[in-house]
Structure 1
Amino acid sequence: MLKISQPSIVVGDRTVDMARELLLDGRGRIVPLRPQAWAVLRLLAQRVGHLVQKDEILDEVWPNCEVTEDSLVQAIGDIRHALGAPGRSALRTLPRRGYMLVADGDSIERSDSSNAAATSTPNKIEEPSDSSIPSLSIVVLPFANIGGDLEQEYFVDGVTDSLTTDLSRIAGALVIGRSTAFTFKGRALDVRTIGRELNVRYVLEGSVQRGGNRFRLNVQLTDAETGAQVWAERFDKPAADLLDMQDEIVSRLANTLNAELIKAAARRAERLLQPDATDLYFQGKAFLSTGITPAVMARAKDFFERALALDPDHVEAAVAAAQVDFAIGSSSMAEDASALFRASEERLNDVLLRAPNHPRAHMLVGAVQIRTNRAAKGIAKCMQALALDRNLADAHGFIGLGKYALGRGEEAEGHIQEALRLSPRDARAFLWFMIVGMAKLMTNVDVEALGWLRRSIEANPNFALSQFHLAGASAMMGELEEARSSAKAGLSLDPDFTIRRYAISTSFLSENPRWLARRERLYEGMRLAGIPQG
């Protein structure tokens, strides 16, 4: 039930106190909301019963910030969670249009003294000390130009601009816009002061210095609350074409910062007694980045499902849960991979109804299509994801997998090299190395195949499927000692693995005759290495 009063609105058992800009529960206690989520709720409350277009909300709530529609979806999820079960249905989504705060039938009515208690001033308000600061909020300060070269000044400002835009694509991130960030150019301020002034959790600083024919770029990420350095990196590059170098540097920084920001948010979430859905999502993402084993997958999935139990509309948790199902099916960890692929695709399609421009959701739909004998469609879907986020290195990796599935394995390496160019230290690089190794194996370049598969294991020795692939490939080439060693290592990670289970999970990948013939050779190699038939 929704009631309107001046200056408060009652939604279920919650009160939107417009005068004090607070959301209160039935006992008058504050229900924490991040600033942007409150701003969205306030705008919808001001227009109760009317559609508010997405673009209007974005312009109103994020006027000086570079954000995507995903930030709005995340804010809506936060609001629904904060409204609780009695009031959640009052906030409605009109697909591709916007949102509306409504009531059923004649349930909109003026409040009177009978509901005054709901809006009365509580004797004591308990509020978390830093709940108003979004977990993934950051300002990119203008990089310092050491040396003062005018040509370099344009390059330095370009790096700052591009990085601000690219970081805004991180799911759920709030990135302070360029115009605001550049007001700090040349000012010597403590990062904690900047954090308080802009209400952000992290500050990114950098400098560029040219020496002869090389550029050196230093960057550091600082926790604005404590002043502690979270991450630092240095890049040395030949002074070639500045624009090309700028694109590469920004892509590498954006991909690395994405991972570092999520790890930092997860560490903070671990200390919370009552984590919310986003906190649980960050913990699951951080856990997921540690590898692909049955135990890791189960733990990560638990975090995402707990997040979705708290907030069924949490888009990022839904995408991450779908990624887990896809990863388990792709890694031959389950008997029924087809069921996992179906579940993953269904969940992702549901996400895209709510967030039609979500890059990772498009990419993962493409990945599922590639793994279920629809490689051409899957490649197109991954290209669509890259059009939405040019830094999505994983999309290049999946395109490489798609070329392998189509029997065009000789093209796979080029796509993997592009993924590595964008994210050379990526936690998932071991998967990309394995894809090239398998592509080489299927195109009869066996010696190179072994090199790439060994490289995959060096990058992550705890991924069972790489061990099993190396075991089969080594045995095919008469390297039985290495084959048996790899098989033993793989079975220690996934004791239930069998050739039969692997054959079932890969049967969806391709019907290309050349691919199928080489796969039979791989099965024989796995048998020679000592992997159970099943």
Structure 2
Amino acid sequence: MRYAFEDYVIDSDRRELTRSARRIAVGPQVFDLLLHLVRSREHVVSKDELLDAVWAGRIVSESTLTSHINAARKAIGDSGQNQRLLRTIARKGFRFVGDVSEIASRCAVASTEPDAPGKTIAEAPALPDRPSIAALPFLNLSGDIEQEYFTDGVVEDIITALSRIRWLFVIARNSSFTYKGRAVDVKQVGRELGVRYVLEGSVRKATHKVRITGQLIDATTGAHLWAERFEGALGDIFELQDQVTEAVVGAIAPQLERAEIERAQRKPTESLDAYDNYLRGMAHLHLGSRESIDAALGQFNHALMRDPNFASAYAMAAWCYFWRKVNGWMTDRPGEIAEGARLARRAVDLGRDDAVALSRGGHALAHLTDDIAGGIALLDRALVLNPNLASASFLAGFLRTWNGEPDAAIEHFARAMRLSPLDPELYRMQAGLAAAHLFAGRFDAASSWAEKAFRELPSFLMVVSVIAASHALAGRPDEAQRAMKHLRELDPTLRVSNLADWLPIRRPEDLATFADGLRKAGLPE
């Protein structure tokens, strides 16, 4: 469940506090304290109740409780003097007094049934008909919070390697990482993600050495299947990742052919410095804001300076330019489109066997050069290389939406959501579903999915345009005009006449539907 107040959202499932879709760092006990107060907002919470809820009844000092209350206030822009949201009730306790709205969990799975758009599935996903695994974020034992990105990157590459094994169903990194920083029950993880196996472990990085430990658990029974420790020089990190991958695969299916294991052993780059920049860039890219995309592009460019043959870094840099284009953020449109296209072409040339490079590079190339058919071919190849890559599925869904295949697109979005049901990029999948339903003539479903995406990223220009058009076409002029007002604030230059220059919509009837809806909502010609 998510609880929204002012421009903050506290997500109990992902254990995240965000403001305007940007993450706010809080300690686990501060998070638990704030969450408990928000959930208990109908009554005053005593100090004893807080101690039971946050510290499980352990004895803590008055100063500890006070410092945590102050930290919670600071996280939400409050203070002991203002007490705008979190009020101290003399001799009684504390109460959260802000207006709170409750939002359903992000775990909703897209319905592909035309007569039930927007329907959510509350029950746990069924186990696939093949071996399935989720790799949870490993613990960072380095004693340095700045090394979190390195630990996360190690696990991300293990997930990528596992995903290349065709008979293995692998939950995407973005969903498994929603458990980061949480004490978890692997049986519950297995139920929530719909997998049989769970991989967990730790990474310790010190000077020039690194140690990776891992254990594989059967989530249906809780039984430990395998545990191992791998140590080596920091320069051997990719070899250590390969060893972990090979051991996990061997524990799941001892009969696995050696050729399949070798296909899982591909290094993204030989340069650790480039890899470092790439991981930092990825951390920024998923946030989706203008500032975060600028920061991501800078990191990818640094990666390319250190390794000029790093295909995935070219693809992600190109994708940053695509994201600038689709949100109206380009300041030198011809120059930026040309540079993005150059990067995308380099990505797909270097990354012919790299699903990440083909999917992000191919998608960017389709948008920046108006070659939807070519982009679809590259996305299809990425899915052949890695059928478990959630981003390839939802990006293929977008291109099929623009190509006039809304029902095929919806199937791609649904699969991406199944592969990564807790994905931080879920708003992008919801946005794609909204556009696909709009072109299929299901305007209520379109507005429903678009508004879900809007709650996560209000600056997503395409989402706001679909909200305006779908409400207008469904006969809801007030909602359409409100959305149009926001749309005009985001991009005052957008017109009905330049829609085709903004989004590569191939079918004339789809472009006509979109233009008609936006025209009715108040977009100038």
Q: Which has the larger radius of gyration?
A: 1
